[in-house]
Amino acid sequence: MKLIRYGMAGKEKPGVQLEDGSRIDIQGFGEDYDENFFGSDGVQRLQEWLDDNKEFCTKIPDDVRLGAPLVRPSKIVCVGLNYAKHAAESGMALPKEPVLFFKSTSAIVGPNDDLIIPKGSEKTDWEVELAVVIGKKASYVSEADAIDHVAGYVLHNDYSERAFQIEKEGQWCKGKGCDTFAPIGPFIATKDEIDNPNDLKLWLTLNGEMVQNSATSDFIFNIQQVVSYISQFMTLLPGDIISTGTPSGVGLGFEPPKYLKPGDVVELGIEGLGTSKQVARAFEG
């Protein structure tokens, strides 16, 4: 199943994308895609509801805006330097265990919303990433049981302001949590739709030029390892997002580096998880 949310920003409604690509409203189900939904077998309950009610659901026009396909989660946990080539292009040593940081949930926007280059930014960068949506509370989970705690997978662009992230004092979160820096979607694919999340092609283009083109088979730490590892340090709640890192090809790694400017168009996708597109705009205000 593919879970979507649609409508004006801040007023999104839940829906489902069907196998033929059409979209239907599921407000009659009575729930949105939040912690309670994911933590109470919502995916299974929704499937059972659809079996009886799909034919009565209203179709969603193709031109309606898509929002992030879940209600703002309690946290976004990100894994840094999780592809060997990306660690090399960043000039950093290969990590011996997952590098973790948080990304602000207020950065979440729809998959095709504009990217706002932050005030004072000169080094805004792109990062295509596979994100995991937690489906069951996870604390001290083993690698063998990790996938049992996953609801599904979603496309994420982990935008980063490199000067804020690297050149200022303190942690990476300064360069990761700016408004619009977490476009999510177009949909959450439930885990039954993805045979092997550790072997998916992912890519990103800048103004039509391919700059990232890799596969999750290049993970240093795979999905099971990452979910288990993070759960040793914090409880993952239903609906939480884990963003699993980006491959090589980010702007920081070019010689000289490339960074986003107003008018740039970023498009990205992951096998089985659709595509998204953001147009960069300068901060106003």
pLDDT, position 171:
85
Encoding tokens for residue 187? 């949909």
Query: What number of residues does the chain have?
Result: 285
Predicted structure pTM score = 0.96
Residue keyed to tokens 């309606």: 64
Label residues 238-264 b or e (16+ Cβ within 10 Å = b).
Answer: bbbbbbbbbbbbbbbbeeeebbbeeeb
- How far apart CA 40 and CA 163 sit, in angstroms, is 41
Q: Report, as an integer, the average pLDDT of 169-196.
A: 95
The string of pLDDT tens digits covering residues 90-121 is: 777 889 999 999 999 999 999 999 999 999 99
- How far apart CA 223 and CA 196 sit, in angstroms, is 10
- Could you tell me if 175 and 90 are in contact, meaning their C-beta atoms sit under 8 angstroms apart? no
pLDDT, position 153:
98
Would you say residue 85 has pLDDT above 90?
Answer: no
The string of pLDDT tens digits covering residues 124-178 is: 999 999 999 999 999 999 999 999 999 999 999 999 999 999 888 888 889 999 9
3-state secondary structure of 252: helix
